[in-house]
Amino acid sequence: MRHRRRDNRSAVRVAAIVVALFLVGGVTYLLLPAGSSASGQSKDASTPGSTIVATAHADTLAVYAHPADPQPSLTLSPPRTFVPIVVLVRERQAQWLRVLLPVRPNGSEGWVNRSDVDETIVTYSVAVDLSDHHLVVRDGSKLVLDTTVAVGSHETPTPPGLFYLTELLTVPDPTGPYGPYAYGLSGHSLVLENFADGDGQLGLHGTNRPDLMGGDVTHGCIRLRNSDVQRLEPLLPLGTPVDVQA
C-alpha cells in the first residue's frame, strides 16, 4: 500500500467525532489494510476460497464503464478520512480489473486500471443466510465462526447479494446499540435512502440486545453478539467478501 503507516494497527487508531453512515455518534477508525490480518498472516493466492482485493494508491480512484472508454464513468472517494478506497476484484485482465463497487445500486461493477491500485489476497470470507439468521466465517476452508445473527425487519430488510467490508470502526460506547465494533459494507438498503445522516449503508456490528439474535429486527444491518464481533475484529481485513443469501 502507498500509506505504509496503515500496516501497524496500534499506530493508526485515529480518534474522530463523526456521524457514521449507519451509526449515530462518534467512532474511531481501525485501519486494517486490505489483504492482511492484524497478525500479519501471509496470504497465498492458491488458497481455496481466496479473493483478490484492490486498494487505491491515491485518495481517489477512477472507474471506467469499459476499459476502452477514454474517460472514467465515476470517481470513488474514501468512505471517510484516513480510510483507504478498497474494491473487490471480479476479473483480471492484462492492464485492467473488473471490480465490485461500493455504490448504489447494489452489485454495480466497473473497471479500474491496475496501475492505480495494489492487489492483495484475502482468504477470509463471510456467508450470511437471512432465512436461517446464520453467519459463517471461513479462512480458506477453515471454519472460524458459526453463529446466529439478527437481520433486517420486514419493513427494512437486509438485501441479499455479494458485498465486501469497506471500513472498520470502533464505537466509543461498547455497551451501546452497535456494540464495540462495526464494519461498513459495500451495499446499501433498498428501502432507506438516508439513515442517521448517512446514505443507508449496510453494516455488520455488535449489539446491546443479544436477546434479539435470530430475529428480523434491524434497519438492514447484520447484528452479531459482541463476543462474536470482538473475535472477528483482529482477523477480517478490508475487502473481505460478504455473501448474503435470502
Residue 4 has pLDDT above 80, yes or no: no
CA 108-112-114 angle, 5° bins: 145
pLDDT class of 194 with cuts at 50, 70, 90 = confident
Residue 31 has pLDDT above 70, yes or no: no
Can you give the pLDDT at residue 40?
Answer: 34
Amino acid letter, residue 121? I
Query: Which residues neighbour 207 within 8 Å (Cβ) at sequence distance 6 or greater?
Result: 150, 177, 178, 179, 213, 223, 224, 225, 226
Residue 42 has pLDDT above 50, yes or no: no
CA 189-136-76 angle, 5° bins: 40
Cis-peptide into 105, omega within 30 deg:
yes
| pLDDT 10s digits, 70-123 | 999 999 999 888 899 999 999 999 999 999 999 999 999 999 999 999 999 999
Cell of 138: 471461513
Distance of CA 213 to the CA centre of its chain: 21
Can you give the pLDDT at residue 182?
Answer: 97
Whole-angstrom Cα distance, residue 200 to residue 104?
10
Can you give the pLDDT at residue 35?
Answer: 55
Rg (CA), the chain: 17
| pLDDT 10s digits, 12-30 | 232 222 233 343 334 444 4
Whole-angstrom Cα distance, residue 201 to residue 184?
7
Give all domains of the chain, ordered by start, each with its CATH number: 19-36+123-245 (2.40.440.10)
Q: Is residue 100 within 8 Å of residue 164, measured between CB atoms?
A: yes
Residue 224 has pLDDT above 80, yes or no: yes
What distance, in Å, lies between the first and last C-alpha atoms of the chain? 35
| pLDDT 10s digits, 119-177 | 999 999 999 999 999 999 999 999 999 999 999 999 999 999 999 999 999 999 999 99
Can you give the pLDDT at residue 22?
Answer: 43
DSSP string, 177-195: TT-SEEEEEEEE-SS-S-B
Residue 38 has pLDDT above 60, yes or no: no
| pLDDT 10s digits, 202-218 | 999 999 999 999 999 99
